Amino acid sequence: METVTGAPLEGELEMINRYTRKQLSGDEVYVFSVVLCDNDIDRDYERFSDEALEKLCELYTGVTGIKDHDPKSGNQSARIFSCRTEQVEGRTALDGRAYRRLCARAYLPRSEQNSGLICELDSGIKKEVSVGCAVKKRTCSVCGEEISMCGHIKGKKYGGKLCYATLEEPVDAYEWSFVAVPAQKQAGVIKGYCRNTGKEVKQVDIEKKLFAGDEQSFSAEEIRALAEKFRTLEKKAAEGEFYRDKLIREVKGLSAMVLPELGADTLAHITEELTVRQLSELKKAFEQRAEEILPMRPQLAGAGTKRKNNTEYNNI
């Protein structure tokens, strides 16, 4: 597809003027084509589904382009006035599927302030772009589960199958940016999607901003890193809660054997206040006590034998 820049095509000026306060003429605007994103696997081992591209086509119409994902008003550079998805004949994505991409037409006013940017666009200096958007699902290519919850690592192979995330169900498209290093190799001014600014996002730097105590702004990469951190903590919290509940059930079962005189309400109150480590210590103490009293209480021998043979129980 040939890059078309400069004057608006027939019918485009009307679409542009939907976003302007005054009616602009064709001589007052500079129009160019840009590929925002595609369905290929990118440098972050992520890809958009074909359905996600169609939804992003709707969401990105009217969205402002900025520089380096820095959400300052002074960094606004252009606005998208139309989008479409297209399949590139004879080309396939890395995983073998038909290659599809999200193309957009964008404009900026011809002015002395924008003359430098227009020159950079025409000369190919300003070329690569990256999108900032939010999706509901990031599906693992290996197991089909949410990739933040399944344990598979993007970029690694499992049984010869490459692990990557398919981004699905977009809910917001908040910006697109001119950047130096796009995540998707085909992203840019008539090239495609990219989200990586080329700068390493360090968790410690993000946390410093979070707890700085004053108003802060976060880049798309920082927001993504925070979301990843949240999902990881959420997963660990769920696993920890499951393990704690299991410990409590086991402590209650052992208590009925070694301290039958202890009321259920009292035991529930005690276990509710204990940490996982304290519950583990109490469980171990009850198990040792149960081993001591089993010979003296024949009626519990069967239960004790069953517990010893239960490897799942003993391995906790």
> How far apart are alpha carbons 244 and 231 in whole angstroms?
20
What tens digit of pLDDT does each residue of 63-114 get? 988 775 555 555 677 899 999 999 988 889 988 999 999 999 989 889 888 8
313 to 131, 221, 259, 283, 286: CA distances (angstroms) = 49, 43, 20, 11, 14
What tens digit of pLDDT does each residue of 230-281 get? 777 777 788 788 888 888 888 888 888 888 888 888 888 888 888 888 888 8
What tens digit of pLDDT does each residue of 148-200 get? 888 899 999 999 999 999 999 998 888 888 765 555 555 444 322 233 333 44
Residues contacting 95, CB < 8 A, separation 6+: 41, 47, 141, 162, 164
pTM of this structure: 0.54
Closest CA to 31 of 8, 50, 48: 8
DSSP single-letter state for residue 262: S
Do residues 80 and 105 touch, judged by C-beta distance below 8 A?
A: yes
Structure tokens at 88: 């590139």
Mean pLDDT rounded to a whole number for the chain: 78
Compute φ and ψ for 79, nearest 5 degrees.
-135, 135
Do residues 32 and 189 touch, judged by C-beta distance below 8 A?
A: yes
What tens digit of pLDDT does each residue of 195-211 get? 333 344 455 566 666 66
